[in-house]
Structure 1
């Protein structure tokens, strides 16, 4: 076995060495399938080929074992009968080979043929080894005097007789076994490639049909540029994974289109907002240069400083919006929301209207203290801008013990918000009263920043009904209890307001 394996390896190396020099071996690796369709087809063919080979070997083995068992049974019965006659010393009563046996030969311990059927008359003993001990054994030989076309399954029964050990050989032809092997092998040789070709063809067609919508989606996406975000990929009528892929792709394109529109609008609005204070600042500086009266310079420089402050605040807001749009992760810190709100209110100086605060205890949330304080500051700035004489800030919780929600409300007694404007006020650079907002220094970014920061914390910011004025409501999920984790103290917020 080892010599045969070594010889096969030497032959394989010789075959590789005899390959033409103009065929690089690395090109053989390029024959591997590179497309999903080709890989699926090759995989299906290989799997079916392996399964077919295993099933073929199993079928041939079972068929051969069954036929061989039937042949051995008939020969063994006749061998036992002849062995009984030999043990009784009555070989003269031995009959010719019966059904299922081709020959019978009886040999003594010295190799002398005592009895045999006519087709073995005059021939020497079949077994080259003399019988040693009683028992039954099976052999497979080619008995040339019988023609040699088919193998013979020989049953040897050794028994004790008055003259010593005697071996009885009864042979039965394996023509049925060989014929079944040949027929089954021929059927597998012819049918196997046909089956593999059919599997490959069907897999190729089915895979191509299944991947056709994917190719259409790919081709459509390849043609969509930054100016064609309004286009959508085709959704196949099938309700399978490819259809869900197309729907997801269209949703992604919707988000990209909305983001592009929002970005272009933001750039246009930011340019407009920056142009106005820059123009005013330039005018004031030109007037200051033209005026020679030094007593007017403090007033002109004070106005210029106010515009610089507006520019600084606007630039800070635009930078924060850029950070929010970049989807930077929120620091996961456990915070006492009541402490954050209290510090944000105490840090405010010079509010036009006093803020009445009502805070529930033990309201713990997860997030960034600086960003949550910025939400409170922006809501209070908005309320101070429009309140007549009252600003109320309330913090409470709603819901069950396992799914509580923190509710932060800021209400004022100003002109209120019309129902049709309750969503528009959260758009960037939106002012319901443009002239009054400019007088108060607003750029239309405070509520937009507050909503974006709230969304980053998994909450919502909405405008609710209020009988006399406006009421803005923030809802944030309450953090699950964690007794072993210390709360992060609320950051001190400093403002020049």
Structure 2
């Protein structure tokens, strides 16, 4: 009896503790859950604000940005990344809208010219010079066809991997073939050896052709083409003795539908897509294109492409 008495007291203490814990445990769990809910909610408030803002952004409200917390944690970096993504999306949307507007204008112009010529001729059908009218319509139709072809090529350059079916291409042979085409100003290809790059022959020919057409549009009477390679890079330089391009415009001329002041007349140029196409194709071939001063006093367009062995 003397030994059992202390054990009874210990057992009663344990029973009392169990009862207390069983009573208090639900309240403790509830308190911890409330604290966790409050802390997590506060921590995720910036994420919820970002979600609401992103949900409200549409094609017409691309200028909106998500709030960036004034911290240096992961949420702040996430907000910064999302805003950078929205910047790129806004730029892309604006470029697409501008492209559609410019393309619509360019397509509308030859159609309006064709319609005007035909309406004028029909008003005096018995006295109209129909062969001349037909020539004018065919000329505008050719310009319209060329514009549509350029727009389709631009779309394909943007979407396709031009190096998927690429092969070694002799840039000098391609340039010689393009230089042989009839232009207002004769093209001189300076002597040199073969220079090979990996690419699509038709697309590289289009680059050279566009550069020569652009030079012929503004040259007075001289266009020189030089081709050189150091084993790592093939460098093509197209020089003309025209008015040149001001340094401030040397990036802008590669934008789509860009015409400088001296080329605004439609009789002297195309739709302003030639250099944009050349830039797109060159960059898809992992090359660079830029404009410099020419020793002939005009413009020098330089194309650099990775060289390969034949």
| TM tier relative to shorter chain | 0.7 to 0.9
In the aligned structure 1, how far is the partner of 2:167 from the partner of 2:185? 28
Normalized per residue, the structure richer in helix is: 2
Any idea what the Cα deviations from partners look like across 1:348-380, whole Å, max 9, x if unmatched? 521222322356545333x43332222222111
Asked if the contact 1:416–1:469 (Cα under 8 Å) also holds between the matched residues in 2, the reply is yes
Q: Which residue of 1 aligns with 2:83?
A: 250
In the aligned structure 2, how far is the partner of 1:376 from the partner of 1:207? 61
In the aligned structure 1, how far is the partner of 2:81 from the partner of 2:283? 22
Distance 1:460 1:239, change over 3 A: farther
Distance 1:231 1:298, change over 3 A: same
Distance 1:437 1:453, change over 3 A: farther
Q: Which residue of 2 aligns with 1:218?
A: 51
Q: Which residue of 2 aligns with 1:472?
A: 301
Q: Which residue of 1 aligns with 2:108?
A: 275
Distance 1:309 1:437, change over 3 A: same
Q: Any stretches of 5+ residues in structure 2 without a counterpart?
A: none
Point out the structure with max Rg over C-alpha: 1
**Structure 1 residue 299 corresponds to structure 2 residue 132:** yes
In the aligned structure 2, how far is the partner of 1:253 from the partner of 1:263? 15
Q: Which residue of 2 aligns with 1:238?
A: 71
Asked if the contact 2:212–2:238 (Cα under 8 Å) also holds between the matched residues in 1, the reply is yes
Q: Which residue of 1 aligns with 2:161?
A: 329
Q: Please provide the CA RMSD for this pair.
A: 3.6
In the aligned structure 1, how far is the partner of 2:216 from the partner of 2:139? 19
TM alignment of 1:100-115, pairs within 5 A: none
TM-score by length of 2: 0.80
Distance 1:282 1:434, change over 3 A: farther
Shift of 1:386: 0.9
Q: Any stretches of 5+ residues in structure 1 without a counterpart?
A: 1-144, 151-174, 482-486, 488-497
Any idea what the Cα deviations from partners look like across 1:13-63, whole Å, max 9, x if unmatched? xxxxxxxxxxxxxxxxxxxxxxxxxxxxxxxxxxxxxxxxxxxxxxxxxxx
In the aligned structure 1, how far is the partner of 2:307 from the partner of 2:185? 30
**Structure 1 residue 422 corresponds to structure 2 residue 255:** no
In the aligned structure 1, how far is the partner of 2:188 from the partner of 2:35? 76
In the aligned structure 1, how far is the partner of 2:133 from the partner of 2:214? 28
Residues matched between the structures, number: 301
Distance 1:372 1:208, change over 3 A: farther
Distance 1:475 1:195, change over 3 A: farther
1:375 equivalent among 198, 207, 227:
207
Instruction: Name the structure, 1 or 2, with higher relative contact order (CA <8 Å, separation 6+).
Output: 2
In the aligned structure 2, how far is the partner of 1:315 from the partner of 1:406? 31
